[in-house]
């Protein structure tokens, strides 16, 4: 991870540092797989203009650029047809802590967080005997009879933090809860692309800059309402929760990636 890598590691560590001392007094501790959704519709609309600008700066002939853009737009149309680009789910690994908070109709205060990064994903893949390559692209390219190389290493990180006040309804072997609170969601992709083209390096650098690879980020703070269901004995329950997000502020970066309106989690909670 480079110095530009998203600050989620620091925030995640801070969250854990704040929460771990409370576990001894916790009403419940949960481990979960959480998710939120991304709206990529505005981002896909920017792909063709950015690639066209990049190819122009690299000195590619106009006819070849036109052919490339036609093929690219066909591929983008296929992506939009096959994927929910306005609500693409992004999973995270996380946990939660619940504290007693008997005030008016409130029963508990829940603090939760989730994180995902290329390092974490690589470690998880290793547990299943799968290796994620350190280089996503490592190719030789030829432009105007000039031979060079292009390399790209995947690097990304994202986090979601939430706090909410909960009203619990318990029915012996199952339970339901309603909640209201706030969510902070951030993420960043840093492709770390390197192009070496002797004699055309200035053009290559300009082409790379035109892709705005330093602008693939998103951040939002939102209010949310949540609904959850649990099943199992009082001390150990499986749960599923959903949240409806109302973004208050969003910072989508150059590529216009925004947060969708839904997040949630599934997992296991230990009750005390």
Token pair belonging to 51: 């690639």
Report yes or no on 2 lying in a domain: no
Token pair belonging to 236: 């150990």
Q: At what angle do helices 41-58 and 201-209 cross, to 10 degrees?
A: 170
**Domain total of the chain:** 1
Any residues with CB less than 8 A from the CB of 167 and at least 6 apart, and which?
A: 105, 106, 107, 177, 178, 179
Report yes or no on 128 lying in a domain: yes
What sign does the dihedral 74-75-81-85 (CA atoms) show? negative
Distance of alpha carbon 259 from alpha carbon 187, whole angstroms? 10
Report yes or no on 1 lying in a domain: no
Q: pTM of the predicted model, to two decimals?
A: 0.83
Report yes or no on 167 lying in a domain: yes
Q: Give, for all 272 residues of the chain, the pLDDT tens digit.
A: 454 444 445 545 444 444 444 444 447 899 999 999 999 999 999 999 999 999 999 888 899 899 999 999 999 999 999 999 999 999 999 999 999 888 888 999 999 999 999 888 877 767 777 777 676 777 887 777 778 888 888 789 999 999 999 998 988 899 999 999 999 999 999 988 888 888 888 888 898 999 999 999 999 999 999 999 999 998 899 999 999 999 999 999 999 999 999 999 999 999 87
> 185: domain range?
8-271
Report yes or no on 228 lying in a domain: yes
Report yes or no on 3 lying in a domain: no
Distance of alpha carbon 198 from alpha carbon 152, whole angstroms? 18
Report yes or no on 72 lying in a domain: yes
Kindly report the three-state secondary structure assignment for every residue of 54-66.
HHHHHCCCHHHHH
The phi, psi pair for 200, rounded to 5°, reads -125, 25
Distance of alpha carbon 116 from alpha carbon 154, whole angstroms? 13
Length of the chain: 272
Distance of alpha carbon 133 from alpha carbon 68, whole angstroms? 27
The phi, psi pair for 211, rounded to 5°, reads -85, -10
User: Angle at the Cα of 154 (from 49 to 86), degrees rounded to 5?
Assistant: 50
Token pair belonging to 84: 């929910």
Report yes or no on 230 lying in a domain: yes
Distance of alpha carbon 83 from alpha carbon 256, whole angstroms? 18
Question: Across-strand partners of 157?
Answer: 117, 188
């Amino acid at each position: 991870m480079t110095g530009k890598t998203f600050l989620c590691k620091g925030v995640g560590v801070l969250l854990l540092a704040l929460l771990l001392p409370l576990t001894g007094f916790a009403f419940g501790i949960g481990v979960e797989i959480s998710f939120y959704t991304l709206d990529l519709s505005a981002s896909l609309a920017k792909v063709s203009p950015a690639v066209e600008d990049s190819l122009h700066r690299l000195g590619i002939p106009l006819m070849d650029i036109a052919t490339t853009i036609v093929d690219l737009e066909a591929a983008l149309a296929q992506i939009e047809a096959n994927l929910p680009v306005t609500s693409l789910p992004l999973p995270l690994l996380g946990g939660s802590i619940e504290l007693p908070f008997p005030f008016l109709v409130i029963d508990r205060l829940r603090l939760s967080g989730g994180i995902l990064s290329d390092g974490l994903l690589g470690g998880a893949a290793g547990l299943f005997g799968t290796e994620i390559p350190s280089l996503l692209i490592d190719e030789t390219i030829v432009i105007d009879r000039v031979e060079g190389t292009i390399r790209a290493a995947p690097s990304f990180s994202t986090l979601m933090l939430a706090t909410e006040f909960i009203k619990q309804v318990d029915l012996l072997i199952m339970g339901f809860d309603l909640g209201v609170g706030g969510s902070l969601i951030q993420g960043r992709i840093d492709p770390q692309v390197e192009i070496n083209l002797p004699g055309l390096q200035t053009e290559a650098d300009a082409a790379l800059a035109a892709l705005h690879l330093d602008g693939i980020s998103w951040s939002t703070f939102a209010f949310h309402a949540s609904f959850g269901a649990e099943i199992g004995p009082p001390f150990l329950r499986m749960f599923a929760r959903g949240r409806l997000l109302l973004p208050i502020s969003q910072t989508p970066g150059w590529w216009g990636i925004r947060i969708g309106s839904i997040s949630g989690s599934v997992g296991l909670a230990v009750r005390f």
